[in-house]
Every structure is written in structure tokens, then in C-alpha cells.
Structure 1
Amino acid sequence: MNVTYFIKRRKALKMSQCKLCDGICTQATLSKFESNTHVPSLTILTQLCARLGISVEELYESEESTVSQLSMQLDDIEKRLMMEDYCRAFEELNAINPEQIQSVVAQMQFYYLRGLMTALTNGHVIDVSYDLSMIFNVLDAKQKTIFTYLGFLGMAEMYARNHQPKRAQSYFDKVHDYLNQLPAEQHSEQYYLRVLMMVYYTAEFEMTQKRYEKSQRLIEAGVQLCSEQHVTFYLPDLKFLATQCAIERHCPTDEVQSLMSETMAFAKINQNQVVEVKLAALKRQVEKGKLREA
């Protein structure tokens, strides 16, 4: 029940608690309802709502609308995370009070988003650990949802960015195990985008550890998943990673240039300006390297 809607309606009418409950119930009864500690009887609630010019049903309808709006808000923030638009993502996320989120799924999405983004932006270890432990220890203690593995990804990135590769590896291994056992049944596009995000960051870590073959296998698996599920969003990132991997492995120039062309093409199709900027910087590095060799 959306008590906030009830309170906003009362305040909009500039009606005090005392005036609203007069002749219907005690002020203590109304106060307990508005503080979310006790719902009065249906008879009393109906009379209170009638005095405000609303129905009891509207309280439930408004709650559904609020839940739906929050879900869309979190999905929008998640897209910004995947686009590496961290500034806007944090701005929108900070406007949400996690204590007011009633849905367990929405709570897990909130804590994974805040924890992973904090890790990716080199935030405080304590903040990352707190947010992600809310998933591991409270919301998904039995590790039944994808949010646990997205949380593992956040922990892995936190350790990787704090130069603790062994600890990072232990969490990336958990993510990799999940990727090796993806459910056979079809899922939503959002699910596969989350999977591809795990693929990307795991492959990136393996490449930084100079395990190029393992990184390449993950990249190829990601590209195949994009093709099978008709999800192109992560193709620019994966192709960019493949380009980096090819350069590190000293692959032939023709192969590197071909990968660069593919990366740029997919970046333009998906309007991924972040990858375009990264690719331009990588090209400059390659050119500088050639000049030094010459």
C-alpha cells in the first residue's frame, strides 16, 4: 500500500492529521498508518480516503505505478552503466532511497548497480563491499539469481583496480563458472546484456594478466552470444577488446587493421562514442609504436 500517496494527498489539501481523523478515528491511529507501522480497519481507511477524495483502491494502484516507475528508473541507470556514463548513472541512483524499495529484485538491482559502479570508478572499498554483501548475505544468500554473479563481478573489479590480482581472480573464476553454465531456456535481452557485461570484464581482466588465449575464447563466446540472441550492444566493446588482444599477441598488421575497422563499424551502428574515443587513442598508440620502431 502506498502510504506516501495518501500523505501527499492530505498535505496537498492542507489538512492536518487532527482535522482528517476527526469523527473517524484517533490521531494516534492515523499517525501509526502514516508512519507505516499499522494499517487501520478497512472501514476507517475507507472513511479517511473518502474525506481526501480518493479510494482505497487508488492506494494500491499508485503503489503499482510507483514500483513500475522505479523499475524503469533502475533499468535506465543500468543502461548508463553499460554505456560507461557513470556521472549520470550515479546522479540518478543517488536520487533513490534504497530503504524505500520494497521489491527484493529491485533492491538487488540497486545494490549491484551502486556496488559495481563504485568499483569501476575506483571508489572506496568499504562502500563496494557493503553494497555487494547486501546481495550475498541478505537478499540472495542462496545464490539463486544473476545478481549474485554481477556482485562477484563487482568484487573482482574492486580487487583488480586495487592491484590485488589473486583476490580478483578468485571472484572472476566464480563469474567464469557461471558463464560456462548458462541456463538453456531463453531469457530477456536485459539478461543477455548482463551476461555480456560479465563476459567483457572477465575477458578484459584475463588480457591484463596476459592470458590471451583465455581472453580470446571469452571474446569469441561473447560475439557468438550476440549473434545468437540478436543483441549487438556489446559488439563494439568485444571487438575493441579483440583488437587490443591482437596487438598484445603481435598479430599481423592486416588482422589488427581489420579488427579496428570492425570495431569502428559496430561502434557507429550502436552509437557508442566511448569505444570510438578508445579506438582513436589505441590507433595513436600503435602509430607511435611504429614510429619508435622505425
Structure 2
Amino acid sequence: MNIERFIEARKAMGFSQVELAEGICTQATLSRFENNGRIPNLKILIKLCNRLGLPLGDLFPKVGVRYTETIETMNQAEFFLVTSEYQQAAALLSTIAVDTIEDSTLSLRYLYLQGFIMIFQNCSITDILFNFDKILLEDDSSGSEIFRLLAYTGTGMVYFRENEQEKAEFYFNKVLEKIYLYKETELEDTWRVLNILFHCSVFYSEVHEIEASNTLLHYALSICSDNHVTFYLARVASQLVKNAINQNEPQELILELIYDARAYAKINKNTVLLNELATLEQSILANDYELDEKR
């Protein structure tokens, strides 16, 4: 409680403690409140504030208000990351004065978002890894665990982009050692677990370990179902399409997966993915037509 605000208001009104307390409480009660932080009962506190013309709410701490705008900006940037709109995500992050953020969790979130967005903007490996290294060098507190796993994931993605498969696999393996044991505590945690599972699945698909990729994707789908989360459903379903194509699954199955992914993409308004799925569908149908012509 902001007792200093109360004292300032009393002095500004010209009341002594005795004068303010008269008819409401004892001077000793008021003194214990102002000098020792012993809060009187609510009825007394309301009467004291009313005499001062001071809204009682002014005494309560403004929980979360300071960073409300920053959190909303990061939420939108994280959504753009999910929908592959990296330019919009980068533009939003650029509006955040990161040097003014004192909350450690927000700082870690900013670094994770910045690092992932830079990957998809093909920034230099040293600049990207600098963001992830900052996360990994933080104290290993409970609040930082999910961001450490994201940093490992991002680092693996960077090395794979640079054709360093062995190094990439080292970091992805570190993630998989822990991700199945991680317990999400908030909705945002669920988004980040899905982010990790999706990008790990992409890596294993790219190195032709489709079974491992599909296992991760189906785990992601179960998390979406259990938590009623639609974020990442579209991208997970889309990766299942690509894996089915790589495994030469029947056209009927591939098209069914495309239609599922399209439905999820519409829910999330993921226009980037909708365009990609339309191209895949045309390709699958064209290939089937070519086969019919040869027959």
C-alpha cells in the first residue's frame, strides 16, 4: 500500500494526525498506520480517505500497469511469429524501449522473440546467437526455464540454417531431454511449448527422420486439444502435410490433411499459410492429373 501517498494528501490538506483522526479513530491508530505500516480496518481507512478527498484506490499498488502496453505489444508480435508475418513482428518489437524494461521475464521474452524473428529475416548468425546467449547466461530460475528451452531451439535452428547439422542436433536434443517434462503454468507457456515442438519437428523432417517429426507434431496437437488452443494448430497440421508428401502417402490422405490445415489457418487468419496450402493443393492435384494422363 502506498502510505506515502496518504501522508502527502494529509499534509496537503493541512491536517495533523489528531485532526484527521477525530471522530474516526484514535490518533495512535493513525500513527501506527503512517509510521509502522499497520493498516486499520477497511471502514476506518475509507473514512480517512473520504475526509482527505483521496480515492482509496490511489493507495493500492498498480499491479502490472507499468508494462501493460509492452505486454500487449509482445503478445501481438508473438502472434505474428506464429502466423509467419515476421516483418510485422519485427516492426512491433522495434517500438519497445527494451533498455527501460526491468522485469526479468519480459526481458527474456523480448530476447526470445527478437532472436526467432531475426532467424526468419536471415540476420547474421552472431547477432542472432547474441540474443539467445543472453538468455542462457541468465540465472537458471524457474521463470527462465521455458526461455532457455526456446534459446536452445533457436540456436539449433540457426546452426541448421548454416548447414551445421551436428551442432543443430546437439541443441535440439537438449530441448527434447526436457520439453516432455515441462509443465505449462500459463497460456503463454503453452504457446511457447508449441513453438518448440513445431520447430523441432521441422528439423527432424528436414533431416528425413519423419517418424520423430510426426511424433512431435501429434504431441503438439494433443496439447492444443487439451488446452483448447488454436495457435499453432495450422502450422502443425501443415507440417504433417509436408511429412505425408515426403513419405509418398496416398493423395486422399494428403488432401485431407491440407483441408484440416486450411480450416485451422482460417481460424487463426494465417494468410501466409493459406497461400502456401493452396499452392500445395494445386501441386498435389496436378501430379495426380499427370499420373492419370500417363495411364
The normalised TM-score by structure 1 is 0.73
Cross-structure match for 1:135: 135
User: What is the CA distance between 1:245 and its match in structure 2?
Assistant: 0.7
Equivalent positions of 1:257-272 (< 5 A) are: 257-272=255-270
Between the aligned partners of 1:173 and 1:207, the Cα distance in structure 2 is: 15
User: What is the CA distance between 1:67 and its match in structure 2?
Assistant: 2.1
Cross-structure match for 1:243: 241
Give aligned pairs, total: 236
The answer to whether 1:145 aligns with 2:145 is yes
The answer to whether 1:94 aligns with 2:94 is yes
Report if the CA contact (8 A) 1:136-1:143 is conserved.
no
Cross-structure match for 1:18: none
The answer to whether 1:230 aligns with 2:228 is yes
Report if the CA contact (8 A) 1:114-1:131 is conserved.
yes
Between the aligned partners of 2:95 and 2:264, the Cα distance in structure 1 is: 33
3-state DSSP of counterpart to 1:138: coil
User: What is the CA distance between 1:116 and its match in structure 2?
Assistant: 1.4
**Does 1 or 2 have the higher relative contact order (CA < 8 Å, sep 6+)?**
2
The 1:64–1:217 alpha-carbon spacing in structure 2 relative to 1, beyond 3 Å, is: closer
Between the aligned partners of 1:265 and 1:64, the Cα distance in structure 2 is: 36
Report if the CA contact (8 A) 2:105-2:143 is conserved.
no
Structure with the greater alpha carbon radius of gyration: 2
Please tell me the root mean square deviation across aligned C-alpha atoms, in Å. Answer: 2.5
User: Which shows bigger deviation, 260-269 or 151-160?
Assistant: 260-269
Between the aligned partners of 1:180 and 1:63, the Cα distance in structure 2 is: 33
Between the aligned partners of 2:289 and 2:252, the Cα distance in structure 1 is: 18
CA distances 1:110-165 after superposition (whole Å, capped 9, x unpaired): 11111111112221111111111111113548995201111111111111111111
Report if the CA contact (8 A) 1:119-1:155 is conserved.
no
Between the aligned partners of 2:124 and 2:185, the Cα distance in structure 1 is: 34
Cross-structure match for 1:210: 208
The 1:188–1:169 alpha-carbon spacing in structure 2 relative to 1, beyond 3 Å, is: same
Report if the CA contact (8 A) 1:135-1:141 is conserved.
no
Equivalent positions of 1:33-182 (< 5 A) are: 65-138=65-138, 140=140, 144-182=144-182
User: What is the CA distance between 1:208 and its match in structure 2?
Assistant: 0.7
Task: In structure 1, give the amino acid aligned to 2:110.
Answer: F
The answer to whether 1:190 aligns with 2:188 is yes
Between the aligned partners of 2:137 and 2:268, the Cα distance in structure 1 is: 37
Between the aligned partners of 1:103 and 1:276, the Cα distance in structure 2 is: 37
The 1:163–1:225 alpha-carbon spacing in structure 2 relative to 1, beyond 3 Å, is: same
The answer to whether 1:279 aligns with 2:272 is no
User: What is the CA distance between 1:290 and its match in structure 2?
Assistant: 4.2
Cross-structure match for 1:201: 199
User: What is the CA distance between 1:181 and its match in structure 2?
Assistant: 1.1
Between the aligned partners of 2:181 and 2:82, the Cα distance in structure 1 is: 23
Identical amino acids, percent of aligned pairs = 23
3-state DSSP of counterpart to 2:254: helix
Unaligned 5+ runs, structure 1: 1-56
The normalised TM-score by structure 2 is 0.73
3-state DSSP of counterpart to 1:84: coil
